[in-house]
Amino acid sequence: MPTITAEQFNQIKQEYLDAIPEGDALKVELKSHNKDQKARHAKIYQYMRENNVMSTDIGGVTFEREEKTTVPAVSLKTLEEIIENPAVVEAYKRDYAKTKESLKVRKPKRPRIE
């Protein structure tokens, strides 16, 4: 026994089709908003780089900047264990180390509603 009649189904189809343009307009508006926010994020990270800030909280949203230095083919810990002279380790790091920067935005968690 069907729970939705053909009339109800046709009405739902029409409502769905009528809502598509409204959804498309919202998508365009959201796309513009996200583009503006991305530009603001870039300026916040630029400020953080220039002022050597690693983490900042803006209205509950945490912006983090992390720098990781890696040495190809061997870990720094292993290298320090093998080579006893710290000057050689520092010279190796200076010559071969690569530093990468990772940027993160952490939004506050939503409170649970029980």
pLDDT digits (tens, 9 = 90+) for 59-112: 889 999 998 877 777 777 787 788 888 888 788 888 888 888 888 888 887 777
Shared domain check, 74 and 41: no
pLDDT, one tens digit per residue, over 3-55 is: 889 999 999 999 999 999 999 999 999 999 999 999 999 999 999 999 999 99
Report the C-alpha gap between 109 and 87 in whole angstroms: 46
HEC assignment per residue over 12-28:
HHHHHHHHHHHHHHHHH
Number of other residues whose CB lies within 10 A of the CB of residue 111 = 6
- Residue 58 and residue 46 in one domain: no
Whether 49 and 67 share a structural domain: no
Same domain, 2 and 41: yes
* Residue 85 domain boundaries: 54-108
- Considering the domain architecture, whether residues 3 and 49 belong to the same structural domain is answered as yes
Global pTM value: 0.63
